[in-house]
Each structure stands twice: as C-alpha cells, then as structure tokens.
Amino acid sequence: MKLKIDKTLAASVALHVLVLGYGLVSFSTKAYEMTPEESVAVDVISPDQLAKVMAGMKTGKKENPKPLVDKVAEAKPIDDAVGKVTEKAPVITETAPPPQPKAEEKPVEKKPDPPKVAEKPKEEPKPEKKPDPPKVDPIAEAIKKEEKKPPPKPVAQPAAKPPEQKQKIVERHFDQTQIAALLDKRDATRQAATGATLNSNAALGTSKGTAADNSATWGSMFKQQVERCWKKPYGGIESQKPEAAFAIRLKRDGTLEGMPVPEGTPATPYLRVYQESALRAIIECQPYKLPAAFFEEWKYFAPVFTEQKT
Amino acid sequence: MLFRPNRRQIITGMASAGLLMSGQRAFGQAPKRIIVPEGEFTPLPIAIPNFAAGTPADTEVGAGVTQVITNNLKRSGLFAPIDQAAYIEKVINIDAAPNFQSWKSINAQALVTGRITRQGDGRLKAEFRLWDVNTGQQLTGQQYFTSPEYWRRIAHIISDQIYERLTGEKGYFDSRVVFVDESGSKERRVKRLALMDQDGANVKYLTRGADLVLTPRFSPSTQEITYMEFGQGDPRVYLFNIETGQREIVGNFPGMSFSPRFSPDGQRVIMSLQQGGNSNLFVMDLRSKSTTRLTDTPAIDTSPSYSPDGARICFESDRGGKPQIYVMGATGGGAQRISFGEGSYSTPVWSPRGDYIAFTKQGGGQFAIGIMKPDGSGERILTSGFHNEGPTFAPNGRVLMFFREPGGNSGPSLFTVDISGRNELRVPTPGFASDPAWSPLLS
C-alpha cells in the first residue's frame, strides 16, 4: 500500500514548521533592556508625621525629634499678645531714634525664647499707662523721662533691667542665618506653638528627606537582569522567609569590581544554599546594563535577595 | 563683622564634627539596598559528564554511575541535568580544576566530575567533586570504595551528597522500597512481597505468592519488615528478615491482627487486633513479647503510626461515625481528632521530619492523597482520582510514594509526588504494584 500525501497538507505543515521555528529563534529569551524611567522619590507619611515635619525651627537641634511646644493646647492669651504688639508699632514711628538699640536686642531674645517678647510688653505698659496713657512704648518713655526728670519708677526699671541684659550678652552669638532677622524691624508675629505636652527645646522638625535617589530606576533594571540568572532553590512548602544580602561594587562597564561580599553567615543549610544561589546569580548575570548617568549611585550598593514581601 | 566663636561653640562644633566623622565610618558607607524579591523556583541546571574511567574496563561502570545520578537528580524535580550532547568539553580530568568558562557558556550552574577506578583487590574506587561553576569553588568532594556489584549504591550515595549540598536538605536516593507485586488476572491475582531501590532498580521478590500479603512496613534498621499475611484462616502480622529470609508471627492472638508498624526505635510493633466487631490498638515489645492495649473503644481503631520521636501516635478510627484521623500519646489515653474535612480519612502516616501526617481521603467518589500538620491544620490535597491510596514518606519527608489504580481491568502502580503536589512521577515496576513502604536511608 502506498501512502498518499496531500500536497496542500505538506505545504501547510512545512509553513507551520517554518513559522514556529522562526518564532522559537526570534522570540528566544533575550534579555529585555529596560529604558531608564524618570522617577520621583515618594515617601508616604501620616498626617501626624507631616505636622511634626512642619513644626520645625531652623535653629533647632537635629537630634530632637519632638516639635517645639511652648504651651499646652488650651492656652488662650495669644490674641491679646498680638494685639499689644501691633498697638506698639505706631508709637515707634513717632519717636524714631530711641528704638534703634532695642531692635537689635529683640531678635536675639526672640529666638531662644519667643514668649518673653510677648510677655514683656504686657508687664511694662501697665506702669507707664498711669503717667502717660497715649504713649505706650516703655523704653522711649523711659529715655525721655531720664532726660527731663528722674522719677522713682524709671530708676527702679534700669536697676531691674541691667542684670537681665548681662545674662543675654553672655548668650549672644553671631548667627549668619539671623542677619535677616536682625535687619527685620517688623515685630514678631510668631505665636506660641501649642501641642499636647510642653517642650521648650526648639527642634528642626523631623527630617525625612533623602539625597537625590534614582534607585527606583536603576534598581529595577538591576533586579530585572539579575532575576534572569537566579535559580532560586526550592524551599519547601513552609514559608521560610530567607534573606541574603550582599555588598557589591560595579565598574562603569557593569561588571563586578570584585567578589560580592555576603552580609552575615547563614544560620541553616537552606539559608546557605539560598545565599549561594543568589551569589551565583549576581556573578552569572554581569555585566549589568545600568544607566551611566547614575553610576555614582550604583557603583556600590547592596542587593537583597528575599522572599519577604515588603 | 568679625565672627568670634566662644568656647562652648568651639566645643560643640568639634563634637559634632567628630560625630559626623564617626558616622561616616559607621553608617556613611552603608550602601543602598535593592530588594530582589521572590523569584520563581527554578530547577538548578547541572552538568554531569560521564565519570572518567581509571582503567579502560571501567568505562561502562562510569557511564552507569553517571546515568543513575542524572536520573536521580532529574526525578527529584529540583535539578535540570543538561544533555551531555551540549557539552563543549567531553573529556574531564578530575584532578584539575575544570575550565569553568566552557560550562558557563552552556548555562550550567553546578558541575559534577568523577572517576571510577578498579583497584588491585577487585574493589571499585569512586571519586567525585561538585563544583560551583560561577564562583569556581569546589562545594564538596568524596571518594568511596565498594565491591563492583554495589556500583548503583555508590551512585545513589553520591546523588544524596549532591542533593544535600545544593538544596540544604538530606537526600533520599540511597533507600529502598518494599511493595506488593501483583501479577495475573484480576480474578486470580498473585501478590508477592517485593523489594527494590527507590528508583525501581534491583527488584527482589521476598515471598512466593502462595499467600496473600498486605501492608508491608520497614523497620528503622532496614533489615526487617513487618507485614500482614492471609494464611490459612485469619490474617496475621509477620516479621521478616530481608537478609536471612526468616519470618515469624508477631504475637499469638485469637482473631485477626493487622496494619502493623514499627516504633521509631525498632523495638516495638504497634498494630490492630480484632475483638468482636471492633478493633483496638495494641503495642508489642519485640524483646519481651509483652503486649499493651492502647485503646478500648466500641469502634474500629486501626492504621497506627508513630511520630518520629516516638511520643505520639496517629491512627484512624470510626468512633465519631465516619473514619477520621486521631492523635494520642504513645501510651494511650485521650485521643484528639485532627481531620475535619468532608469525607473520610484513612491510612495516616507520620513524616520522618515530624512536620506532616499524610493520609488517604475518600469522598465524592474520589480517593485523594493529602497531608496535614499534626494539629490538623494546613490540609493539602496532593493528588486525587479514581483510586489513590497508601502514602509513605521518603526518608527526608519531602516526597511521598503511593499507589494508584486507574480502574477497569488494569492494575495498580506506584507514583511519587513532592509534598508540595509538584512533580508527580510513575515509579517503574516489573508488574502491577501496590502498598509501597519507603525504607529509611541505608547509610
């Protein structure tokens, strides 16, 4: 018996083989090269954290994580203080020369302990109001009175002030960042910061910022490349949560500068196997194609192989 | 304007500079961490060129050893041996470091080199080295001496070494399986006790098939098995020495005794004894022959299996209506039901690792093989079908063997499956086969 072959069938088979064969070759597992993407570093913070970040002062200590709190939240006299400070302003323009020395002192006082600024006018205007109600500025008044006639009250005041001023001189220091404040003749508008608990230490706020970080871009490119070589060992059906970290140095051409340095020694045989498999992957997959623009960032980094979901 | 820092400022300045400098050393060097998450498990590509022959007569054995190792690793599902045809280097010198570049180019991550040499006294010397191709390091290396007929065992031992070094788990290749060999027509089935290597080689028949045999079980010593045999009258539990061929009845009880199993120390046999319509669990000390009753219920308690530490027993009981799995202390007492799924559960067996209990589950017209933790949680069905039964664990607790009957006029055959449910494979046997029991590691 002779086997008859349908020509169209043969042609169809041949064409299919051709197409599939071409597909096998051309769609073979060639590494995709990811194009670098623009990335924006985003940190997710809670509203509470945001409030802390906002409550910072430039001159605060870096170590202090708490925001400055002058008063417990219920404090109410803020409105009064503001009113008095603004009342004072027109008086200064009336008697222009005298306030000069005062302006210099004020900012220095103001920074370390602002509430005093608000308190001072409170105390001083009261004695002054009796002899001369329209004029509120205490120092201008004091100077004028000293020139004319020395009454008992002004004598008492200078006696009380000098010790205070001496203390301040000891603490006074030059701070370039405060030049603007020195020149600023406006009155302080900062109100007492309120919070749940008192904290007299000024803080910088919570710093969360990082330097320019493009690791999202080159990191994902590295991940994609190294994963192709990683033959993850079989860890059984129990989740073992292994982790293997290395410190690696890359050259500009993307090859390893030296052997990757494993972080720590594995505790179990499986962790050792896991670490070794990751090491093999790092070595096998070089050279890495990473964006040259970020070389400074990826020349030294720590890949962490893990099964832990973040 | 002149900047004149006071003393305190100078001190704080110096202190903060020192802090910065020390910080630079401690933390400033910390590199950016890039998380490479959860890759898929991939079998490890491994190259196993033929073991070199020390003398020309050893070429065949060398190729045989290589073949057995390749087959073992491949069947485990954790390795992907590379076809020898792809090798760039064909002749390998075991005494020198391999040319790793040529192995890298065929994507091998591990390489096994070895040599078989016949010694002057007729013994075989087998040497092997396991290499990490990417780092160029030798991961392990051993040499063994054996008489030539045991070359397969050498191959299994080397396979175990490779498996253990590359997976971090003990191997299971150097082990045997006892099973019931079935031949003849369905009506006149001849059932013989048979023994073979775990890969199906070296089949040996232990009984002649005159009597029906069932449920053979290995002793931890691997030289003895216990099984149930229907002779004239009631079935009885026997003890059989593989080396000497001697056999004896375990105890002399009225009525049936069945489903025997050794304790982990090999000193006792636990089994079921029939009493009226019920059966209860008894344990017999093999030395003193004294018997202790463990359960006393008006129900059928059977298929007991010890935990690897010998402290607990899991067994099957229908005291709650349908057959379910229970766990109790090795000396008896209150039993706790651990199986609560639909259907009925039977033939529980405790893993040598202690982490799982395997079982046969019947329901919805299907027989399934599954595992659960000893507290009954984490139930997982590995395979399901017309008839699957009798799971037994590999020595490392990672693989299960069971038998499957497709139905019709066909007969049962043996299968292995990973406890994750992956990599189900048929085990080659000469005829039909059922009731497998895996031995502990031989060495």
Q: In what order do the strands lie in the sheet with A243-249?
A: A261-262, A243-249, A300-306, B32-37
**Residue B21 vs residue A63, higher pLDDT:** A63
- Apex B63 CA angle, B82 and B68, nearest 5: 65
Residue A287, preceding bond cis, omega within 30 degrees?
yes
B419 Cβ under 8 Å from any chain A Cβ: yes
Shortest distance, CA A186 to any CA of chain B (angstroms): 23
Grade residue B23 by pLDDT with cuts at 50, 70 and 90: very low
Q: Which residues contact B395 (CB under 8 A, 6 or more apart)?
A: B170, B172, B175, B352, B438, B439, B440, B441
pLDDT for A213 equals 73
Determine phi and psi for B315, rounding to 5 degrees.
-155, 175
- Asked if the model's pLDDT at residue B19 lies above 50, the reply is no
pLDDT for B274 equals 86
Q: At what angle do helices B151-167 and B59-76 cross, to 10 degrees?
A: 40
β partners of residue B37: A306
Determine phi and psi for A153, rounding to 5 degrees.
-65, -50
ipTM of the complex: 0.76
Q: What is the pLDDT of residues B358-399, one digit of tens each?
A: 999 998 889 999 999 999 998 999 999 999 999 999 999 999
pLDDT for A155 equals 43
pLDDT for B17 equals 43
pLDDT for A209 equals 47
Count CA within 13 A, CB hemisphere, residue A259.
10
**Calpha distance A72→A207 (Å, rounded):** 24
**Calpha distance B325→B359 (Å, rounded):** 9
Choose among B37, B133, B166: nearest Cβ to A273: B166
pLDDT for B214 equals 85
pLDDT for A154 equals 45
Share of chain B above pLDDT 90, in %: 47
**Residue A115 vs residue B68, higher pLDDT:** B68
Shortest distance, CA A291 to any CA of chain B (angstroms): 16
Residues A303 and A286: beta-carbon distance below 8 Å: no
**Residue B106 vs residue A90, higher pLDDT:** B106
- Asked if the model's pLDDT at residue B330 lies above 50, the reply is yes
- H-run or E-run covering B165: helix B151-167
Cβ contact B34–A276 (<8 Å)? no
- CA torsion B285-B289-B295-B301 (nearest 10°) is 90
B interface mutation test: which of A230, A234, A282, A295 has the most B CBs within 10 A? A234
Q: What is the pLDDT of residues B110-159, one digit of tens each?
A: 999 999 999 888 899 999 999 999 888 999 999 999 998 899 999 999 99
pLDDT, mean over chain B: 86
Choose among B5, B34, B169: nearest Cβ to A219: B34
pLDDT for B15 equals 45
DSSP state of A139: H
Closest to B250 measured CA to CA, from B219, B285, B277: B285
Closest to B401 measured CA to CA, from B375, B376, B428: B428
Tell me how far CA of residue A104 lies from CA of A162, A185, B218, in angstroms: 16, 9, 97
The total of other beta-carbon atoms located within 10 Å of residue B339's CB is 25
B321 Cβ under 8 Å from any chain A Cβ: no
β partners of residue A215: none
Q: Per mean pLDDT, which range of B34-38, B191-195, B412-416 is the poorest?
A: B34-38
Q: What is the pLDDT of residues B164-210, one digit of tens each?
A: 999 888 999 999 999 999 988 777 888 899 999 999 999 999 888 77
Determine phi and psi for B187, rounding to 5 degrees.
-80, -35
The pair of structure tokens assigned to B284 is 């017999």
Grade residue B314 by pLDDT with cuts at 50, 70 and 90: very high
B42 Cβ under 8 Å from any chain A Cβ: yes
Q: Which residues of A touch B40 (CB under 8 A)?
A: 232
Cβ contact A301–B355 (<8 Å)? no
**Calpha distance B315→B334 (Å, rounded):** 13
Q: What is the pLDDT of residues B254-287, one digit of tens each?
A: 777 788 899 999 899 998 888 888 889 999 998 8
Choose among B34, B167, B420: nearest Cβ to A233: B167
B33 Cβ under 8 Å from any chain A Cβ: yes
Residue located via tokens 């005494």: B95
Instruction: Write out residues in chain A with pLDDT < 50, as ranges.
Output: 75, 81-83, 85-87, 91-96, 98-99, 101-132, 135, 150-166, 206-210, 310
pLDDT for A224 equals 85
